[in-house]
Amino acid sequence: MIDPRQWYVDQLDVINRIASSICRRNGVQGADAEDFVSDVRLKLLQDDYAVLRKYRGASSQTTFLTVVISNLFRDHRIKHWGKWRPSAEAKRQGEVAVRLEAAMYRDDLSFEQACQFLAQDTRLKVDRAELRRLLASLPHRAPKRLENGAAIDDVPSSDSADAGVLDGEREGRLQAAKAAVGRAVARLAHEDALIVRLRFFEGLSIADIARHVRIPQKPLYVRMNRLLETLQRDLVSQGIGPDDCDWLNAAGP
């Protein structure tokens, strides 16, 4: 019988590659792709590797992981963007129209990006002139992304133009800090990155992390402090100032 913890460690690079490949095929890039890859690793760890324990050897390990991660991507997309339904007109015009509509209005790709994305599927007969004609025939739809758990249409508007500018500046700082954190965590060793994500992105206690990763709890406190110092230095070197690093200093047990 396969030891799921050892399997997870041995297959971590494969897991990362499969998750990244699924993101590329679906037009998910940058921080969104990093979030999904991290989410996959955490899901596979949960409940003492419950997902990996379901493997019975009926297929290759890579095939099993590909199916599991594809299902996780579907759930991840629904959770963050909401369930997508193609328009009646797109369904009437066929699979290419449905895929084009989803790429542009669900995945928020530009027309050029959507063309490149569809061209990756060799089963589809992609012609840019035809895609442009299809796009013109489809109803315009607002992107289906969510913001802080609410549909964008439900987010209140700013009270003034100045408020909008300030919101834009704050959002810019937030995105820059988020990207910097992703880069800093990615530079850590696999297990160190996992510990940081469990602590700060999943909100687990030190005791819970020790049980998840199966390492002694007491030395983990010292290790966490060293990781925080490493992350803070990395963020400062990327231009993320002390005010943006408060979440590191506020960490408790």
**Residue ranges covered by each domain of the chain:** 4-80, 88-143, 158-249
The DSSP secondary-structure symbol of 151 reads E
Distances (CA, A) of 62 to 2, 18, 46: 14, 9, 20
- What does DSSP assign to residue 124? S
Q: What's the whole-number mean pLDDT along residues 213-224?
A: 87
Cβ-count burial of 180 within 10 angstroms (0-12 exposed, 13-18 middle, 19+ buried)?
buried
Secondary structure class of 146 (helix, strand, coil): strand
**H-state helical runs in the chain:** 4-10, 12-25, 30-49, 61-81, 88-93, 95-101, 111-119, 128-137, 161-186, 190-196, 206-213, 217-237, 246-249
pLDDT of residue 248: 52
> Given this structure, which CATH class describes domain 158-249?
mainly alpha
Give, as one character, the DSSP assignment of residue 189: -
Write phi, then psi, for 206 (nearest 5 degrees): -60, -40
Confidence (pLDDT) at 155: 34
Q: What is the pLDDT of residues 69-87, one digit of tens each?
A: 888 887 877 676 666 678 8
pLDDT of the residue at 26: 73
Whether pLDDT at 164 is above 60? no
**Per-residue model confidence (pLDDT) at position 154:** 35
CA–CA separation, 20 vs 71, rounded Å? 14
